[in-house]
Amino acid sequence: LLQKLPAQAFTVMTLIDASHLRAGERSGLLMMGQNYAYIAVVKTKNGARLVHVTCLDAPDGTAEEESSAVALRSRTVYLRISVVSSLGDVICNFSYSFDGKRFRWMDDIFVAKPGKWIGAKVGLFALGPANVTTRGHADYDWFRFSLPRQSSRTGARAR
């Protein structure tokens, strides 16, 4: 489920309950294009982890790289991407929170690139193994975009 980027600077956030995922499945928040990156819950036979994954030059078959992972301590987690455009680059910072107030950044920033037939897009995804007969699911409570707040005195965006 993807959407075009709504502005040059924005934040997208969602609340996921991944307790119904089955081993081998993952679901999360994605920035998609020629390169892609995501923050997602991955279910294993030993529990669930929150991962940050990137893939550069995806159309060429490049493998994904997991840059960081955190043990999932709760059945729900807030996922967020903060986006800022600077000198033509779309810079994305991925973060997560267990309480919706204190967000922790994942290690790496990601620079989005448009795809061949689509521009860069942001959205939700779910993946699972192909060789299973029953599948789990993730529940998303909401999916929200927000713009940076504007200063009431100057009309300029606060950073």
DSSP character at residue 149: P
Report the C-alpha dihedral over residues 119, 122, 127, 130, rounded to 10 degrees: -10
Report the C-alpha dihedral over residues 107, 10, 56, 140, rounded to 10 degrees: 80
Q: Cα–Cα distance between 51 and 54 in angstroms, integer?
A: 10
Please write the tens of the pLDDT for every residue from 79-112. 999 999 888 788 999 999 999 999 999 878 888 8
Contacting residues for 23 by C-beta, under 8 A, at least 6 apart: 43, 44, 45
Bridge-based pairing of strands 65-71 and 76-86 is: unpaired
Q: Cα–Cα distance between 48 and 50 in angstroms, integer?
A: 7
Name 145's bridge partners: 12
pLDDT of residue 150: 60
Contacting residues for 35 by C-beta, under 8 A, at least 6 apart: 54, 55, 56, 57, 58, 110, 111, 112, 113
DSSP character at residue 113: -
Q: Cα–Cα distance between 19 and 14 in angstroms, integer?
A: 15
**What average pLDDT score do residues 60-69 get?**
89
Please write the tens of the pLDDT for every residue from 5-57. 888 899 999 999 999 999 999 999 999 988 899 999 999 998 999 999 999 98
Instruction: Indicate the pTM of the whole model.
Output: 0.87
